[in-house]
Every structure is written in structure tokens, then in C-alpha cells.
Amino acid sequence: MSDKRTFSFEFFPPKTAEGIAKLRTTRQQLAQFRPQFFSVTFGAGGTTRDGTLSTVLEIRAEGHAAAPHLSCIGSTRENIRAILEEYRSHGIRHIVALRGDIPSGMVEAGEFRYANELVAFIRAEHGDHFHIEVAAYPEFHPQARSAEDDLNNFVRKVQAGADSAITQYFFNADAYFRFVDEVQARGVDIPIVPGIMPISNFGQLCRFSDMCGAEVPRWLRQRMQAYMDDTASIRALGLDVVTELCDRLLAGGAPGLHFYTLNSAGLVSTVWQRLGL
Ligand SMILES: Cc1cc2nc3c(=O)[nH]c(=O)nc-3n(C[C@H](O)[C@H](O)[C@H](O)COP(=O)(O)OP(=O)(O)OC[C@H]3O[C@@H](n4cnc5c(N)ncnc54)[C@H](O)[C@@H]3O)c2cc1C
């Protein structure tokens, strides 16, 4: 039986020669799992524009599929038009389209306010050339006025022309299944692939989760905090929790998994092997 599920790994563009070398090694390790694609994030306001493209091109030169992210906040239509043309001139056909967050110090929101406007712009300018992924939030985006509003805004992105979606990470599988049911009830039929965050630095994960609206369950916080500096136990519990989550998601029909690798292969490889993918 052929496996139609989509598995992918996300990187951020490294800034130093050391980071670039480390990412090459990470890629070699993860490429053996034959993901459908690697994706590379894009700093809001265009801060990593060159790094995103050069990382994508390096991955493609190694013979793997790669999708750049593109965030529109703080940009003009001209900026975005130029980036899309540049991507297209390199033969790129797969994009993760996002609003992004206004970087501190940047005042102008730019000409795009929401991701649905970016998706519509890409479709208007390039027709079906790009496969467009968008972001989804099973636990809802932190700035959403209400859960209902956020669901409708997600549907808007799909109606604007998104082909598939990747979710923010979460640790509660029910939130994902309910989100999928609710958007399907609103007519959405694109694949919504769960984003998976391996647990490495737990303190950092909690701080980041508070900002991006992902919930770290109380029982997990309590257990992790009790481990104090015992990094081996933190790693072991983190691996168990994330592997069980992936197992449950795939068993429940999730159309694949997208791993936030943070440019490291170790934890993701262990989860992958445990899942027997
Ligand atoms: C898979 C994934 C990859 C990511 N990669 C990057 C990256 O590379 N670079 C980066 O900077 N950030 C990235 N992010 C973070 C993302 O940019 C932020 O979460 C950002 O705050 C929202 O982006 P969005 O595309 O989901 O925005 P939107 O879909 O525009 O939603 C943002 C908020 O506005 C509301 N909204 C949406 N449309 C409308 C509308 N038409 N009218 C009124 N309200 C509306 C929504 O309910 C939500 O609260 C990523 C997130 C995910 C899940």
C-alpha cells in the first residue's frame, strides 16, 4: 500500500558558518527518512530573506525538495512581488505563506494585514504555479478575537487558494481533531498536517508556548519541573510524550507530520524511529 501521508522537516536559516555546517549534518541525517520536503523559515519583515533562499537552494542542490516560508507583515506588494519572482526564477514551486509578526522596532504593518491577503496575491500573480501551505492553530491564534473568528479566518485562507496547512505545535491531540472537524464542517477539504515540536529545553519551550498560544499541559509542566537539572529524565519523558502524540495523531487519520527540528536531528530521529515510519 502506498503511503500518501506527508512528512516534512522545518529549519531556520543559520546565521553563522558554524550554524550552516551544523545544519548540513542535520540534513544528511534527516534526509535518510525521505521526507516529502524540508521547509525554511523566513524572518518577519524580510530579515532572513537571503538566508532563507540560500538554505532552500542548498537543500535543492543536494537533491531534496525544499519550500521557503514567506511572511508578509511589514512588506509592500512590490517587495513580495520581487521575492515571488526570485523564488520562481529558481524553479521553486512550494511556499509556506504567513502573515508573520511585526518585529520589535518596526512600526509599519505594510500593505498586507493578514495571510489570506498574501495567499490571494500569490494566486492572482502566479496562478497555480505555487503549492501554497498556510498556518493553522488547533488551540487558536493568540490574537484571535474568539475561537469562532479564528476558525472563520482559517477558512478565509483556504478560500483564498491554500492547498494544504501545517499547524502550530500542540500537545493535546483532541484540540487538533476538533479543529479539523470544525473546519471540515465549514467546507475545508485540504490536508491539515500537525506541526510537532520535540521537547529539548523545557524552560524555553514553556516561555515560547506562552507567547505563541500553545498549551503545555499542567501535568507535564509539573513533572518536568520536578526533574530540575536531570536532563536525561526530561529528554526521556519528552520523547515519550511526543512519540505518543504522533502515534495518536497518525492513528486518528492525520495526513502526515511536520517536525519543527530547531536545526537538530537527534530528538526528531528518535521519535521517527520509535514511530516505525
Ligand atoms: C507552520 C508555521 C510556520 C511558521 N513560519 C513562520 C516563518 O517562517 N516566519 C514568521 O515570521 N512566522 C512564522 N510563523 C508564525 C506566524 O507568522 C505567526 O503565528 C503569526 O502571528 C500569524 O501568522 P498567520 O499566517 O497564521 O496569520 P493570519 O492567518 O493572518 O492570522 C493572524 C491573526 O489574524 C486573524 N485574522 C486572519 N485573517 C483575518 C482577517 N481577514 N480579518 C481579521 N482577522 C484576521 C487570525 O484569526 C489570527 O488571530 C509560522 C507559524 C506556523 C504555524
Q: Which atom of ligand 1 is nearest to the CA of 166?
A: 1
DSSP-derived pairing of the beta strands 192-196 and 6-11: unpaired
Predicted confidence (pLDDT) per residue in 46-96, tens digit: 778 889 999 999 999 999 999 999 999 999 999 999 999 999 999 999 999
| Rounded mean pLDDT, 94-103 | 92
Residue nearest to atom 29 of ligand 1 (CA): 115
**If we measure between CA atoms, which residue out of 215, 180, 194 comes closest to residue 260?**
194
The residue contributing the CA closest to ligand 1 atom 25 is: 98
Across 173-190, average pLDDT = 98
In order of their start, the domains of the chain are 2-275 (3.20.20.220)
Q: List, for residues 121-130, the tens digit of each pLDDT value.
A: 999 999 999 9
Whose CA is closest to atom 10 on ligand 1? 100
- Banded pLDDT at 103 (limits 50, 70, 90): confident
d(CA 57, CA 70): 15
**Mutational test site, ligand 1, from 12, 153, 156, max ligand atoms within 8 Å of CB:** 153
Atom of ligand 1 nearest to the CA of 137: 53
The average pLDDT across 219-234 equals 94
With 0.85 as the threshold, say if the pTM is over it: yes
- Pair type for strands 131-136 and 94-98: parallel
Q: Which of 16-30, 102-116, 125-139 has the lowest mean pLDDT?
A: 102-116
Q: Is 10 an active-site residue?
A: yes
Separation of alpha carbons 11 and 203, rounded Å: 21
Mean of per-residue pLDDT scores for the chain = 95
256 DSSP 8-state letter: E
